[in-house]
Amino acid sequence: MVDNVCYIFPGQGSQYVGMGKDLYDNSPEAKAIFNQAENILPDLNLKRLCFEGPIEELTQTANSQAAILTTSIAALRALGLRFKPICCAGLSLGEYSALVACGALEFRDAVKLVRRRGELMEQAAKNNPGTMASVLGMSVKDIKEVCRDSGAEIANLNSPGQIVISGRKEDVQKAMALAGEKGAKKTILLNVSGPFHSSFMKEAAEEFKEELDTTKFSDPKVPIISNVTADYVKGAEEIKENLVKQLYSPVRWEESIVKISREACSIFFEIGPGKVLKGLLRRINPDLAVYNIETSEDINKVSRPEPSASKK
């Protein structure tokens, strides 16, 4: 059994029509997770949404969060106990999958929480219209100056040279122009429905805190890194506090991966839909081995991975 594996879980934006179908068809454990989620959220018609779409409906914030979490945990259950993770982490929404994986949160509670999280984020976005943009090829210091001069905010510190900003549309557009003047390689307006991971999400966070306060959390059985602090969380109360802050705080993903990799973990399993995290990790440290776990074939391929396999 490999003892230095870190499990990482994708966030919103990794969804695609057909995700999880192979797992559902080939793994009784994965099938049970989809069936459980559909029983918990009968209004969502989750299996149809994941397997058949349409993509426009699947992509809606209120829908995609529960769909991605369910697909990720279905993949985790299909993987089973073949490997022993040394720690877990997830990108934004993916942190809830990581909490399930490390034993701090039951799946039944997680799927209800992220469904409500998505609804509250969607409502906050309607009340506070805005957008997000990716800025490539700029330092954090320069991005902070751009945000100071534009009114935009840093939302994601994803990898070296890839930072996401958030805020009102006019502020983000101003920031994109300023970034271009200051030497950014590229700025990309993202197809999102609101200014996520910014101060405009504080109203959602206040309501969401009530949901978290009525949900049972446990101390993690496997160490887990928080998006908010880029450090290990120590207990259930700290987890809840960070999940509230996570809604309006920057996602410190690059720092999280650097910390994990410095502590003798060089093998990562991206568990769930898509390969977004694999791309980010290659930019953070190309020597890290990253395996995607999203189909039964992926699970059959992994046995005793070696770090050199990351570049295949």
- Could you say which of 27, 64, 97, 197 is catalytic? 197
Query: How distant, in Å, are the alpha carbons of 101, 146, 292 from that of 310?
Result: 23, 35, 10
Q: Whole-structure pTM over 0.85, yes or no?
A: yes
Please answer whether residues 100 and 74 qualify as being in contact, where contact means their C-beta atoms are separated by less than 8 angstroms. no
Helical pair 94-101 and 236-246, crossing angle rounded to 10 deg = 170
The amino acid occupying position 80 is G
Q: In angstroms, rounded to a whole number, what is the distance separating the alpha carbons of residues 223 and 7?
A: 11
Q: Estimate the share of the chain in helix, then strand, then coil, as percent rounded to the nearest 5.
A: 50, 15, 35
- Please list the pLDDT of the chain residue by residue as tens digits (312 residues): 456 899 999 999 999 999 999 999 999 999 999 999 999 999 999 999 999 999 999 999 999 999 999 999 999 999 998 898 999 999 999 999 999 999 999 999 999 999 999 999 999 999 999 999 999 999 999 999 999 999 999 999 999 999 999 999 999 999 999 999 999 999 999 988 899 999 999 999 999 999 999 999 999 999 999 999 999 998 999 999 999 999 999 999 999 999 999 986 889 999 999 999 999 999 999 999 999 999 999 999 986 544 444 444
- Tell how strand 267-271 and strand 131-136 pair up: unpaired
Q: At 71, phi and psi to the nearest 5? A: -65, -40
- Render 164-192 in DSSP notation, one character per residue: EEEE-HHHHHHHHHHHHHTT-SEEEE---
The amino acid occupying position 167 is G
The vertex-126 CA angle with 191 and 45, nearest 5°, equals 70
- Could you say which of 72, 92, 226, 261 is catalytic? 92
Q: How many CB atoms lie within 10 A of CB 223?
A: 17
Q: How far is CA 167 from the centre of its chain?
A: 20
Q: In angstroms, rounded to a whole number, what is the distance separating the alpha carbons of residues 59 and 271?
A: 19
* Residue 256 among the catalytic residues: no
- Taken in order of first residue, the domains within the chain and their CATH numbers are 5-126+199-311 (3.40.366.10), 130-189 (3.30.70.250)
**Segment (H or E) for 258:** helix 253-262
* Residue 261 among the catalytic residues: no
